[in-house]
Structure 1
């Protein structure tokens, strides 16, 4: 018989191993033993440490392409964002330079007019910086707590504003803290002036008018000249808020035939939901001259008749 035709492998009887069911039971018991041993005695911790140490170089090499791609994309995005911010900064600087020139000219004209009309100088309001600590626990009011109080010179009624506009008014003063009622609170009112028309009105807080709260111009005649986009500033006639502080902007005007007054909603310019740093101003009444006492009419004396 040729050598290539001989059967050199072992017969099937000798090659027959454990049955699949026996293998399943064996591997299941081994897995259960390893899990119990690892949970109770932590026998696989050294093995895990060794495997993690051996696989770390491979993991580092595998992560390099992803990190390089992420770094490259972030670098390109940062370049684009920086270029965009640079363009915006240059445009803002050009606008500010133009406004600075116009403002300087207006200030000179204002000074000349005041000297010509012998008017008193514009009031300057003292201010101090403060930080918003937290909102009050009362869910029915819109108030915040700032870290400046009576020891810092804060007075009740002091106006509070952020970098964008009027935020509210100090209603309670403690030795180290103060409570500020936001302008969207239903008990807060601010006398305002429409910059476009010069008409005076009063804003009332309405915390439910919008998701973030709003203010409303009430008791405004239906035929009043109020348009969407009008800017409202403090009028200064209440003796609390200095004039000219931005308050809100008109966002919706509803005129009804069955109502004498129009419904006007305004959006506050200040960040009533996320303000962190604010300025506490001195009340305007502290800088106004005292009201002169009424003089008796000619020919009459106080406490008696002619």
Structure 2
């Protein structure tokens, strides 16, 4: 039963009627917005309200793009760093090689300035290696019997006596250094002329043996070859006195010396070869 104020036979609008009404409303809005821009404010309001939603939907894509760019730049920087490190290592190797060549050239120039002694011939040789056991105090040269070398020949560098050829092979030779314990070298003190016998003590050092306690010798004195053994020419620098000590139980001084030649540094040396004597008629 109908309530007061309500029509008894009222009917609701059907779906078709509601659709037509909404179509008319939509068409009216389109016409009004097209000709009079009536909905511009509504559109702006909705755009402002939906701005945070748009930003939130774009955020994952922006973060992904930024992370991709970061990793790409990181890989590029790593490659650039590796390239720079390799270039730096190459430049350092070049600088070291240039310094080594400069030092070798300086040694060769100094060797070329040495004057040939009368009755002797100088054969230039290069030190190949020091052998597997440095304690043996021997080096190997790149010249041998093919260059006229033989056992017993003295070997010098730009500073002093290096040693003596002990073994000769066809293309190489072995030199026993003056610091070898088995190597004896007749010398004299340059300052006083006192003669003595220098012997190797190993580890790149030497000692002057059988010097009486009253001998005038002091640290800093230079020892030269005396030439009395006819093996080493006289006047070749051998060593410099580093320490002189006296012992109450021995009649001799303990004289320690350091070789003047670059036993473990020289790469170019000279081998002194005696020229054959020509018999006079």
Normalising by the smaller structure, the TM-score range is: 0.5 to 0.7
Give runs of aligned pairs for residues 127-142 of structure 1, distance below 5 A: 127-142=122-137
TM-score (norm 2): 0.59
Distance 1:180 1:18 in 2: 84
Q: Return 5+ residue gaps in structure 1 as ranges.
A: 1-5, 39-43, 53-121, 290-306
Match of 1:10 among 48, 56, 59: 48
Describe the SS at the equivalent of 2:167.
strand
Q: Deviations for 1:49-107, whole angstroms, at most 9, x for unmatched residues?
A: xxx9xxxxxxxxxxxxxxxxxxxxxxxxxxxxxxxxxxxxxxxxxxxxxxxxxxxxxxx
Q: CA deviation at 1:9?
A: 7.6
CA distance in 1, matches of 2:192, 2:134: 37
Shift of 1:143: 1.2
Are positions 1:204 and 2:199 aligned together?
Answer: yes
1:126 aligns with 2:153: no
Residue in structure 2 matched with residue 149 of structure 1 by the alignment = 144
Quote the offset at 1:25 in angstroms.
Answer: 7.8
- Secondary structure at 1:253 match in 2: strand
1:225 positional shift: 0.9
Q: Which runs of 5+ in 2 are unaligned?
A: 1-43, 81-116
Moved more, 213-222 or 23-32: 23-32
Alignment-derived partner of residue 244 in structure 2: 253
Deviation at 1:221, TM superposition (A): 1.8
What is the CA RMSD across the aligned residues, in angstroms?
3.5
Asked if the contact 1:159–1:283 (Cα under 8 Å) also holds between the matched residues in 2, the reply is no
> For residues 137 and 147 of structure 2, what CA distance do their matches in structure 1 show?
24
1:227 Cα shift?
0.9
Q: Point out which structure has higher relative CO (alpha carbons under 8 A, 6+ apart).
A: 2
CA contact (8 A) 1:239 1:283 kept: no
What is the total number of aligned residue pairs between the two structures? Answer: 194
Per the TM alignment, residue 15 of structure 1 is displaced from its structure 2 partner at its CA by: 5.4
Deviating 4+ runs (over 3 angstroms): 6-9, 12-16, 22-32
Match in the other structure for 1:89: none
Post-superposition CA distance 1:202-228 (Å, at most 9, x none): 1111223xxxx1111122222211111
- The question of whether the paired residues in 1 share the 8 Å contact of 2:159 and 2:237 is answered with yes
Q: Normalising to structure 1: TM-score of the pair?
A: 0.55
User: SS of the counterpart of 2:146?
Assistant: helix
- Contact 2:135–2:202 (CA<8 Å) still a contact in 1? no
Confirm or deny that 1:225 pairs with 2:216. yes
Which residue of structure 1 lines up, in the alignment, with residue 169 of structure 2?
Answer: 174
SS of residue in 2 equivalent to 1:140: helix
Equivalent position of 1:84 in the other structure: none
- Which structure would you say has the larger Rg? 2
Whole-angstrom CA distance in 2 between matches of 1:28 and 1:125: 81
Q: Residues 261-306 of structure 1, C-alpha deviation per residue, up to 9 Å, x if partnerless?
A: 221111211111111111111259x76x9xxxxxxxxxxxxxxxxx
CA distance in 1, matches of 2:132, 2:188: 33
Question: Take 1:29 and 1:271, find their aligned partners in 2: how far apart are those partners?
Answer: 61
State how far apart, in whole Å, the 1-side matches of 2:68 and 2:268 are. 64
The answer to whether the 8 A contact 1:148-1:178 is kept is yes
Which residue of 2 is the match for residue 274 of structure 1? 265
